């Protein structure tokens, strides 16, 4: 039985290949270095060499302020430089509470350079516009990103939470391809399959990076998930000797656009166990059963 789950490494432009599951750091707010290093090493050991963060991480989820997660990661990299050599480091900029969005040339450059300082690194492998600034012309954003890339401060450019039209508008002003787009995508949030986001990724050779692939943990706990969807997921999990989380991650990885699933657990054991998603077999019958149960109606 052929599985739809895409287990191969992903390629983001000129960057080294990365695993199909990434470690996201929105909740990486514990300043204890031993705890942080254990988590990063668990992720890297599990093949999650893409480490995704953002300058705004630390502003909430128990953090002590804007930029705090980048500072925590930077301290870990300074203490253990070998960690940096093992990872593709991604961060995001363009949110500045409470404004909230700013991708003007002056601010975007400042945001990138501040991230470099906090992360204690010479270059950001993947720099992403966190959310679109509706009052920034894409030509100006492109000029700034191109300059940062030419100066060697960033290697590749991505976006996050951008509509297909917003991606196309920015791409029109860039001489290189946008490497990634981060949409929310899970068995509970299917919008990217319907609104053209994943179709555009396949058209432009953009790698989707799915945030909240477990719907904030709901697909693991079953909280606020319909009994119909849980029944389908649990049936597949039993058949595959897997758990709900692994089946939910496998669903994200099964799309032909070959998304990267960004996990955010702060438990090293769960980091390691998430790779069990790569051993799950999902057929067309399985993925369409999940879609129908999620949407609560039969497909036409």
Active site residues: 57
Residues 68 and 54: their CA atoms lie apart, in Å, by 10
β-sheet bridge partners, residue 50:
88
Half-sphere exposure of 100 (CA within 13 A, CB side): 7
Question: 252 with 261: CB under 8 angstroms?
Answer: yes
CB contact set of 227 (below 8 Å; sequence gap of 6+)? none
Q: What is the dihedral of CA 75, 76, 82, 83, to 10 degrees?
A: -130
Residues 170 and 182: their CA atoms lie apart, in Å, by 15
Phi, psi of 50 (to 5 degrees): -90, 115
Angle at 185 between CA 30 and CA 295, to 5 degrees: 130
Secondary structure letter of residue 95 according to DSSP = B
């Amino acid at each position: 039985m052929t599985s739809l789950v895409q287990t191969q490494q992903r390629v983001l432009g000129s960057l080294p290949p990365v695993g199909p599951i990434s470690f996201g750091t929105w909740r990486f707010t514990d300043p204890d270095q031993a705890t942080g290093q254990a988590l990063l090493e668990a992720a890297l050991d599990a093949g999650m060499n893409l480490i995704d963060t953002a300058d705004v991480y630390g502003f909430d989820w128990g953090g002590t302020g804007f930029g705090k997660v980048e500072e925590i990661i930077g301290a870990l990299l300074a203490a253990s430089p070998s960690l940096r050599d093992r990872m593709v480091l991604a961060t995001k900029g363009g949110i500045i509470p409470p404004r909230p969005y700013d991708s003007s040339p002056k601010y975007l450059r400042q945001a990138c350079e501040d991230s470099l300082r906090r992360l204690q690194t010479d270059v950001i492998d993947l720099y992403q516009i966190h959310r679109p600034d509706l009052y920034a012309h894409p030509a100006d954003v492109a000029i700034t990103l191109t300059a940062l890339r030419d100066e060697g401060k960033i290697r590749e450019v991505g976006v996050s939470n951008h509509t297909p039209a917003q991606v196309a508008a920015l791409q029109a002003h860039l001489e290189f391809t946008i490497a990634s787009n981060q949409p929310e995508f899970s068995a509970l949030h299917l919008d990217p399959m319907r609104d053209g986001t994943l179709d555009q990724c396949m058209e432009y050779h953009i790698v989707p990076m799915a945030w909240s692939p477990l719907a904030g943990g709901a697909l693991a706990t079953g909280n606020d998930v319909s009994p119909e969807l849980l029944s389908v997921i649990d049936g597949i999990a039993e058949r595959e000797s897997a758990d709900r989380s692994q089946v939910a991650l496998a669903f994200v990885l099964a799309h032909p656009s070959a998304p990267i699933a960004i996990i955010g657990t702060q438990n090293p054991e769960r980091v390691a166990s998430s790779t069990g998603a790569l051993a799950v077999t999902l057929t067309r019958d399985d993925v369409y059963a999940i879609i129908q149960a999620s949407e609560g109606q039969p497909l036409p």
